[in-house]
């Protein structure tokens, strides 16, 4: 048997953190990787570019928290390539800037393995750039040295070499935070004025980048006071002063929600978008899921799914109705053919997208996402048999102006009525509208909504006065929070805080419960609510 065609190893620089700083060449290599061997500092988003079946090997740390030794990494690269694999060795920043990429390339040469180097954006230049500090600048600095601040076992030799570079106008030190007091002392002893400006950039280019500026005299203390930790890049030299004018990425006006702690009350599996949008604007987000979805009593749902062929239309009013209904249908042993004779309606784009993820296309989506529009635009439904899956308390009552942030689930309530479990009863708008047009509507409970179990840390943060803004994306979140609060009333707990509601239905529900509502966006989406919060903050 002939041996497999030899593979290849790409030593790829993954950039400093911001996933947009991967090169096109690096992306192309990742996309065709059989194996990705990656380091601790690699942004996880980059790994998502590798094919789903690629083998991902983390050599950043082993179970005992020590990194995998270099010779084992070299051996791994050689073994996989000998087996014919396309191997991407993905490294933080640039592979040849303190990345031990040179050693890995030497091992590949020794083993006769083909390889290519894909340079990356090094943190030595990118972290200062994201802090608004050019490492060279006309009339200010005409040279820059990249230096390791790590004291290697080679001791003496290492120190000599770094001080010889200390004559450059700008010094960029990597791996130096732990040794900062020694580094500044040696620089001052070597003749750098104590007032030379210094910046330390923690997690440069990441959303949570932090920058501390001082001088050789005080930077070591400042770094301790501010709690700056590795990975961080140290910049020494007059160029640091340019940050005052050139600061951009971490400018306060780009992070209008910095310093705010915001409670996200969405159900766990729907919390991500709101959290991401808030965090991108600098807010600290505390997730306290207030309700959760659970399967219903399957009896009625199963019975209706067994006679799906009797319906003309299956109308989905939320992503949850799609997932719970179809998951159950398939769990019963049916496949997509069971839907063959039934037309599918989706209330909005997110619901249609959910259908699409099951390989199904909606036959109908209304032009505007309201119950009335859905009912009228479906055409002649007189005599049509319509199945309307819903939750135990949530009606098919789509809200106006749902864009991409289509609210899930779609809520409405009948004032003053309490349903089971202290949650609200529903107003069956859509069923009414369809009935009025002569359709024969049957509803079935596809899932239940119930108050979530408390997240002790998040609840303590709310009760301990550590939260400034509470967001609600549905009336059931209010009901769920009321349940979590036990003896304390919502009004009591929320009065000192800013209360943001995604739309008028949720805001009405809040007022019904005695809660003052501070913000309701024009556009009833997660994005709209976040924009409104920014306007509120700026107006303060
Ligand atoms: N090859 C990498 C450097 C590896 S050495 C590159 O070219 O960027 C690891 C050091 O790089 C860290 O100790 C830190 O000093 C620096 N570093 C890596 N990522 C960083 C980041 N996002 N922000 C600031 N410094 C970073």
Tell whether the model's pLDDT for residue 159 goes beyond 70. Answer: no
Beta carbon of 98 within 6 Å of any ligand 1 atom: yes
191, with CB counted inside 10 A (0-12, 13-18, 19+), is exposed
Q: Are residues 336 and 406 in the same domain?
A: yes
Q: Are residues 111 and 136 in the same domain?
A: no
Catalytic residue among 18, 39, 94, 250: 39
| Distance, CA of 248 to CA of 130 (rounded, Å) | 7
pLDDT, one tens digit per residue, over 303-319 is 999 999 999 999 998 88
Last residue of a domain, one of 63, 93, 121: 121
Query: Catalytic annotation on 378?
Result: no
pLDDT, one tens digit per residue, over 286-301 is 889 998 888 999 999 9
Q: What is the CATH number of the domain that holds 34?
A: 3.40.1010.10
Domain-located, residue 434: yes
Domain-located, residue 400: yes
Q: Are residues 456 and 350 in the same domain?
A: no
pLDDT, one tens digit per residue, over 167-213 is 899 999 999 999 999 999 999 998 999 999 999 999 999 877 899 99
Q: Are residues 109 and 134 in the same domain?
A: no
Domain-located, residue 321: yes
pLDDT, one tens digit per residue, over 407-452 is 333 333 333 222 223 333 334 578 888 999 999 999 999 999 888 8
Q: Are residues 420 and 517 in the same domain?
A: no
502 closest CA partner among 406, 419, 373? 406
Q: What is the CATH number of the domain that holds 489?
A: 3.40.50.10090
Q: What is the pLDDT of residue 72?
A: 92
More confident residue, 369 or 515: 515
Q: Are residues 433 and 481 in the same domain?
A: no
Q: Are residues 441 and 312 in the same domain?
A: yes
Q: Are residues 18 and 87 in the same domain?
A: yes
Distances (CA, A) of 189 to 165, 217, 368, 534: 14, 12, 72, 48
Beta carbon of 93 within 6 Å of any ligand 1 atom: yes
Cis peptide before 209 (omega within 30 of 0): no
Q: Are residues 314 and 408 in the same domain?
A: yes
The DSSP-derived string for 54-77 is SEEEE-S--TTSPPPPHHHHHHHH
Q: Are residues 267 and 241 in the same domain?
A: no
More confident residue, 386 or 4: 386
Tell whether the model's pLDDT for residue 62 goes beyond 70. Answer: no
pLDDT, one tens digit per residue, over 42-59 is 866 788 788 878 999 989
Helices (H), 131-251: 156-165, 180-189, 219-226, 243-246
Cis peptide before 409 (omega within 30 of 0): yes
Buried b (16+ CB within 10 A) or exposed e, 388-400: bbbbbbbbbbbbe
Beta carbon of 123 within 6 Å of any ligand 1 atom: yes
Domain-located, residue 484: yes
Last residue of a domain, one of 449, 474, 497: 449
* Domain encompassing residue 23: 8-121
Average per-residue pLDDT for the chain: 86
3-state secondary structure at position 376: helix
Q: Yes or no: say if 345 and 364 are a contact pair by the CB < 8 Å rule.
A: yes
pTM of the model: 0.61
Last residue of a domain, one of 449, 474, 501: 449
Gap from CA of 128 to ligand 1 centroid (Å): 11
Distances (CA, A) of 350 to 244, 323, 344: 44, 12, 14
Q: Are residues 143 and 161 in the same domain?
A: yes
Task: Count structural domains, the chain.
Answer: 4
Mean of pLDDT values over 515-539: 93
Q: What is the pLDDT of residue 2?
A: 52
**∠ CA 140-146-150, rounded to 5°:** 135
Report CA 37 to chain centroid distance, whole Å: 23
Gap from CA of 446 to ligand 1 centroid (Å): 50
Domain-located, residue 255: no
């Amino acid at each position: 048997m002939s041996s497999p065609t030899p593979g290849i190893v790409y030593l790829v620089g993954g950039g400093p953190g911001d996933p947009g700083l991967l090169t096109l060449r690096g992306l192309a290599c990742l996309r065709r990787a059989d194996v990705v061997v990656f380091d601790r500092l690699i942004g996880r988003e980059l790994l998502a570019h590798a094919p789903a079946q690629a083998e991902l090997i983390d050599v950043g740390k082993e179970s005992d928290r020590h990194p995998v030794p270099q010779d084992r990494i070299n051996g791994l690269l050689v073994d996989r390539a000998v087996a014919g694999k396309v191997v991407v060795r993905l490294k933080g920043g640039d592979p040849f800037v303190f990345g031990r990429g040179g050693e890995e390339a030497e091992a590949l040469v020794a083993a006769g393995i083909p390889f290519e180097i894909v340079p990356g954006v090094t943190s030595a230049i990118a972290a200062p750039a994201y802090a608004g500090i050019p490492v060279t600048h006309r009339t200010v600095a005409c040279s820059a040295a990249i230096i390791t601040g790590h004291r290697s076992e080679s001791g003496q030799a290492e120190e000599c070499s770094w001080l010889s570079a200390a004559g450059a106008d700008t010094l960029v030190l990597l791996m130096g935070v732990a040794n900062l007091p020694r580094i500044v002392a040696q620089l001052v002893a070597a003749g750098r004025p104590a007032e030379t400006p210094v910046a330390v950039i923690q997690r440069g280019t990441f959303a949570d980048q932090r920058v501390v500026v001082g001088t050789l005299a005080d930077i070591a203390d400042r770094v301790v006071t501010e709690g700056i930790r590795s990975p961080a890049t140290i910049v020494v030299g007059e160029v640091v002063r340019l940050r005052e004018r050139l600061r951009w990425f971490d400018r306060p006006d780009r992070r209008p929600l910095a310093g705010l702690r915001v409670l996200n009350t969405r159900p766990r599996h729907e919390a991500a978008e709101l959290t991401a949008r808030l965090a991108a604007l600098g807010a600290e987000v505390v997730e306290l899921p207030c309700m959760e979805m659970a399967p219903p009593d399957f009896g009625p749902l199963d019975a209706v799914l067994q006679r799906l062929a009797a319906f003309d239309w299956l109308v989905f009013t939320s992503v949850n109705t799609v997932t719970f209904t179809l998951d159950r249908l398939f769990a019963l042993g049916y496949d997509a053919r069971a839907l063959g004779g039934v037309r599918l309606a989706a209330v909005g784009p997110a619901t249609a997208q959910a259908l699409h993820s099951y390989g199904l296309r909606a036959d109908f989506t209304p032009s505007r996402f309201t119950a009335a529009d859905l009912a009228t635009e479906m055409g002649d439904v007189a005599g049509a048999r319509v199945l309307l899956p819903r939750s135990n308390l949530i009606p098919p009552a789509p809200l106006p102006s749902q864009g991409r942030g289509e609210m899930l689930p779609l809520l409405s309530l009948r004032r003053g009525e309490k349903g089971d479990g202290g949650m609200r009863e529903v107003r069956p708008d859509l069923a009414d509208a369809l009935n009025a047009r002569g359709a024969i509507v049957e509803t079935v409970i596809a899932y239940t909504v119930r108050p979530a179990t408390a997240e002790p840390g998040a609840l303590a943060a709310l009760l301990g006065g550590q939260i400034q803004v509470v967001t609600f994306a549905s009336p059931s979140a209010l009901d769920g929070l009321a349940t979590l609060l036990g003896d304390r009333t919502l009004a009591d707990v929320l009065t000192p805080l800013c209360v943001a509601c995604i739309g008028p239905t949720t805001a009405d529900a809040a007022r019904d419960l005695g809660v003052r509502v501070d913000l309701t966006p024009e556009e009833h989406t997660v994005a709209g609510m976040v924009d409104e919060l920014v306007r509120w903050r700026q107006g303060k």
